[in-house]
Structure 1
């Protein structure tokens, strides 16, 4: 019986197509780039990072500079690459994108200075490539040109698939902007509130587009509190995040991996959207989470974390960031009470004993317990009845004792220095810091 041929990985397909690019005419190049983009959309974060390198981007720049590839085809290749990079929340390493982004910056200025012959669609493509590649670290000149150009696209309300894709990419680029100007932001935040409110009434955006609009706003919440506070409350961010989170969570079979083609593309995108919602929740406020909606979200995050920790480690990691930051930012009673109700505390106790625990997740767990024991020692009630506080401490202490928490921490003692060196974290290496008597 003849053996079936091995399935070629998305990375191998991408590299194979890329190697053919410079020997083809422009029309053939576009077909090859389309196949490259399809392969790229199947890649998870680890796979994508193997192609999104300084060497790859410099090679693309060389092809363009040597006129072996047109500006249109460069956009056709780099915009989906930037889109996928932003979706997976991958940041640039050093100056790996300096050369292509510099070329796009010059092209944006030249196109924007045109009068009668200005091509708004071409300018939008250039701006999207630039923002998605630069991670939003832009000049005031680029801020003004790109924001105005892409807001025109983002404010479109048609629901056809092509327009939805245009709006999604424009919002994804805009939410990457890390240039903050109070007057400028206050002016344009109103446009984003309109986009969010219209979607809540008509559901005209993709999940990624809607999420990107919220991300733009949440990133500016500390800078423009006078404008944003009321609007965020009226639009009910936590409720919307929880609903979107649940919808995206149901689209992924968290217990399985190794899917191919369209199914793999959709699962990669939906897993990344879930991870981004968790990230936005963490950025939402100072962390004083005592809201019923957030407690429900926390329960969903706990369920998801259990399901995702084998095959979607980045999503699980973001969940543990939520738990760790809650304990750091909140006083003991509300944080412990909500984590107890959501079963997150049980998950943290269980996770710290796992033999194959991810190093990054281990650090979040250790930070969590360090902050828990620190707050226990402080004995701060913050207006909470002392009997209630004592009762909660007893519940948590008994659970830790039952699960063998102290033995687990002792077994990790020799690894604490290693975690500090490898991950550059300031985790206490004093074993006594992890223990407290009731």
Structure 2
């Protein structure tokens, strides 16, 4: 039906075509490559609508949400780049998109980076994804009743704001994993994620874990400065959280990777990262933090309390202690 309508030269039903494209990409397990040049421009045309009405806002949100279904589908830049940038820029000026729609526009663009050259990564940075994502995390966190969440029983349904906040964290993690371009806006995004981490600390494990995954991806990205990881508070919250983890926790690998990468940066003079004087100052700051908060005692305690007949716990406790000592 999509192909037949697209072939019509006169009297083409644009609304029906858009509805069919939304249904097709949302329900398809595997999108056919030949339909992408039809569906993407059609959905973007709907997403570009600027009329101020609830109906239009819903249409725009559905179209953008459908576009995220392309996930890591490789697309020609000519099909989407100009239009998506226009949608994002218009929202920046008029705030016409919902949190979900704004996220969907950025997710569609971020998903393209993994297929393209560093020039696309630069485009994303130049259009201030990190700044937008940080602001959205700050705003969404204000709308969530964190205290109420503490009182709810396990299994309670998440609110829409929590779901969208999680999506922003996921997309921000993808951004750190794929971005190959230095930007001063990394610090703001990391700081916002730290704020969310602290708010969700005792009441939303899923959001907490997603923040940790973001920190891990940021630490692995060579373009993220060691100073940003420290000054944003990311190192502090990871140190605070890691001593509470059971050694069989599946997220322990993320924490270990975070510190492994940080310790490497602080023990090597990496080109374009930090100068020797700054490196030594950062080393001293981390050491003092460990000593001040009693983390050294905690590591020693973990080592003494190891379950000797459980290799898995023994291995990770030793590895954790070794990595932190390297700092």
With structure 1 as the length reference, what TM-score do the two structures score?
0.62
SS in 2 for 1:382: coil
**Is the Cα–Cα contact under 8 Å of residues 186 and 227 in structure 1 kept in the other structure?**
no
Shift of 1:340: 2.3
SS in 2 for 1:250: helix
With structure 2 as the length reference, what TM-score do the two structures score?
0.80
Give distance in 2, aligned partners of 1:311 and 1:206: 25
Shift of 1:163: 1.0
SS in 1 for 2:74: coil
Distance 1:303 1:141, change over 3 A: same
- 2:94 alignment counterpart: 202
Distance 1:202 1:365, change over 3 A: same
- 1:417 alignment counterpart: 312
**Is the Cα–Cα contact under 8 Å of residues 331 and 380 in structure 1 kept in the other structure?**
no
Question: Mapping of 1:401-412 within 5 angstroms?
Answer: 401=291, 402-403=294-295, 404-407=297-300, 410=303
Shift of 1:130: 2.6
SS in 2 for 1:310: coil
Shift of 1:190: 0.7
**Is the Cα–Cα contact under 8 Å of residues 245 and 277 in structure 1 kept in the other structure?**
yes
- 1:307 alignment counterpart: 199
Match of 1:148 among 38, 41, 44: 41
Match of 1:169 among 59, 62, 75: 62
Quick check: which has more Rg, 1 or 2? 1
Distance 1:283 1:251, change over 3 A: same
After superposition, what is the alpha-carbon deviation per residue over 1:117-163, rounded to whole angstroms, capped at 9, x for unaligned? Answer: 7643333233223322336x412222123213212211111121111
Question: Mapping of 1:231-310 within 5 angstroms?
Answer: 231-257=123-149, 268-284=159-175, 286=178, 291-310=183-202
Question: Mapping of 1:24-423 within 5 angstroms?
Answer: 108-109=2-3, 112=6, 119-134=13-28, 137-177=30-70, 178-181=72-75, 184-225=76-117, 228=120, 231-257=123-149, 268-284=159-175, 286=178, 291-330=183-222, 334-335=225-226, 337-354=227-244, 359-376=249-266, 379-382=268-271, 384-401=274-291, 402-403=294-295, 404-407=297-300, 410=303, 417=312
Shift of 1:250: 0.9
After superposition, what is the alpha-carbon deviation per residue over 1:359-382, rounded to whole angstroms, capped at 9, x for unaligned? Answer: 343332122223334445x53343
**Is the Cα–Cα contact under 8 Å of residues 112 and 145 in structure 1 kept in the other structure?**
yes
Distance 1:436 1:171, change over 3 A: same
Give distance in 2, aligned partners of 1:408 and 1:338: 30
Gaps of 5+ in 2: none
**Is the Cα–Cα contact under 8 Å of residues 238 and 294 in structure 1 kept in the other structure?**
yes
Q: How many residues align?
A: 316
Q: CA RMSD in A?
A: 3.6
Q: Which has the higher contact order (CA 8 A, sep 6+)?
A: 2
Give distance in 2, aligned partners of 1:174 and 1:311: 32
Distance 1:319 1:412, change over 3 A: farther
**Is the Cα–Cα contact under 8 Å of residues 296 and 342 in structure 1 kept in the other structure?**
yes
Distance 1:271 1:283, change over 3 A: same
